[in-house]
Structure 1
Amino acid sequence: MNNPNEHDRQERHPEWMTDLVRVINAPGYDRWRAMVSGTGGCSHPIHLAGESVIVDASTGEVLHAYRTTDEPSGHLLVACGNRRASVCAACSEVYRADTFHLIRAGLSGGKGVPETVSAHPRAFVTLTAPSFGPVHTRREKDGTVRACRPRNREKLCEHGRPVGCHARHEPGDERLGQPICPDCYDYPGAVLWQAHAGALWHRFTLKVRHTLATEAGLSSTTFGKQVRVSFAKVAEYQRRGSPDPATPRVRRSWPNTSGDASPWPAPSRRNGRTDDPSRSPRRTTPVSRLRSDVPAQHEPQRDLRADPIGPSALGHPGPHPADPSLGHLRLRRTTRTGSEGVMTARRSRGDDGLHRDETRERWIASVTAGYTPAGKRIVKKASGKTKTEAKAKLKEIIRDYEDGLVLASTDYTVGDAVKYWLEHGLQGRGNSTVGLYTEFAGNHVISALGARKLRDLSVEDVDRWLAAKAPELSTRTLKLIYGILNRSVKNAMVRDKVKRNVVDLCEVPEGREGRRSKALTLPQAVAVLTAAEQASARIGGYIVLSLLTGVRTEELRELSWSHVVAFVAERKAWLPVTEAGWKHSGGL
């Protein structure tokens, strides 16, 4: 074969085209397309399996039955509902729009919420996480990328590293969010902050209610019965990996006896303070220290910024669409569920992973390859000395997983495939045939290619193997050992041990010449027949029959003369020569 790879490219269509043609021509394509459309363009729809039955409780009659086995794919497709655009853009857009309209209705009314809520006190509060140390970031101004953290190039930190960074980072730079000096960065504080973010938010909500009750001159119990404080919280993950605990919208409602939110009474002052939080000034309050080893002068601070959200000056009953708080909400709902930053690329449970094993001093790549019948997760792993090497192996594992090959052992060799075929692929064959194939497989296939990993077997390997065998084996023997390897790899491909059968792409070369023929020439055959006529009838018939039929003489020895018939003209019938006699007018 001149160029097996070129032949492969000519014979095989692109994989996406093959899949497209298969899907379009499959039965039930219209139903499958309707299910896909029903997911709203979800990138990772959930495949549900099961059945549902609607039964009349009074009569027991089955009114409706549905089974996913009746679907073209055997599953019902349902949108994943993931809020991250980097995972599923379609579902993220639905979530973004729903969240925006839900919070907008809570501020200005609509969707079942009375418009009177627009007159209730509302505040836009921003809670900011403390700094745990400078990190790499991407700064832009007027479309121009600026230096990350410009500082004096000669100034170093206490660990001997530059305190600044003059690089202009690209959006996909892996350094974004990483500390400029890992030793200066307060990793324990960052971890503790993230672990306590939920508790901080809980204490904030309690403090808000307590402060409002105090300003209103009411006990917390009485205040809780008369006033309902509503929160709409948006938590942001920064590129450095730390969350800003919340950017909430706070609204107070004064329930009446009908259960509806009645208009809020006019603000009043008690002890020189207003009971309207929207009139409170911006403030900065310290947070209790999370670590006892942090000096007081370096105690983390939390910024609490409260901006009032007032009725629109344009006469709109609620916040105008141009209200800065709603614009900020729209921006955050769009960007923070998108692909910016590091945390949007956070892996879900069961997704592929990449981590550093300090004990082995290697990078470890892993991917979930399915589940056992008992429900236990199957994880395939690979390792590399460098992160790039581990990433390449991770991509290979994912590619094999998508091709359905990830469950196959990476140590599966050509010898394993041949031995499996000899054991399971020759059922019903005679012992001599099995022995012949086993002998040729051991002497020519396993001895030469047996140690080669089946996944790594290439067309060039097979071509070189056949070329090496051609000078010592006949063409018939070459075809025999080629057939053994071809059928072994094909059997392994059916069992998802390898992607394709590279042996099928090769051609068998011509082998060495066989021994010269020992057949009689025409003059020799005429001489033998002439001599047979002069011999006795028994010997003559034996020789003539063997020569004219091509049956070997040792095979004819098993015949008896009762098996040879002669035509007797007087009786007009074929009779055994033992009955017709050796001298008769007919012929054998």
Structure 2
Amino acid sequence: MGKRKRGNGEGTIVRRRDGRWMGQLMVGYGPDGKPRRRTVYGRTRQEVAAKLAELAAQHHKGLLPSPEAITVREWASRWLERKAREVRPKTLLLYREELAYALPSLEDPQAKDPLGSMRLQAVQPAHIRALLDGLAERGLSVRTVKKVREKLHALFEEALSLELVARNPVAPVKVKAPAPEKTGRALEPGEADALLEALDAYPDPRMGLALHLGLALGLRRVEILGLQWEDLDLEEGVLTIRRAWVAVEGRGEISDPKTPNAYRTLPIPHSTLVRLRAYRAWWEGTFGGLGTPWVFPGTKDPSWP
């Protein structure tokens, strides 16, 4: 290396034998008592001096992240562990699936994962741009690519808030929005009535009535599937939502309603109440009793009569 040259307060700047310039700035001491330094490179001394000046300004403001040797995959795993305490299992599964498009080693530790193996602080917007473009070239939908970007942005944003990175490399990278889809419309009263009548002729009475409830009371599918007979008061004509049935990794799980406001008691319209009473009578007459707590059990339900 060439002779050391130092400007006032700019750290140490050295010209390397390959002609490039290297600068170092001490940013404190590690747990072992040894000094910690940040290193930058450039083609000219002026370029390196400018980079060191920016590092020094960030350091004095307390904004310079600690150069921890953590990879993107390791940080993503920690992020998912924290999210496991905040979101529902099905939501966490979606988060992991979306991140796995960008970080395949989350699903398979042996998978080739260029971004996942990078140090968290080394990721640049160009890396994110190349990754998202690659996903689009593989045929992933714009919506999926946007979801992947959304999750990458979230985990880097948390790293930024904890001062592990100096900036979020995902922030300047955008995904072109898909062409607007045709919007639906609400059914006219006559159309809704016609649909409700058509559901009465549905071959499977469970399916027909389940669809009828969803249309008449505005219930979500997971709420309908989570109904038990104790939730229906067919004398008072009210229905109470207490739980939801969701599919997680191919199996059903009982969950609380999506939000506190989703716990609710609804009046059952008279025509729907008549159908529910007839359905219960059909069920008891066909199977000699209810035999199951579920209003709409599947054929794989172990309590199926």
TM-score (normalised: structure 2):
0.49
Q: Which is helix-richer, 1 or 2?
A: 2
Structure with higher Rg: it is 1
TM-score (normalised: structure 1):
0.29
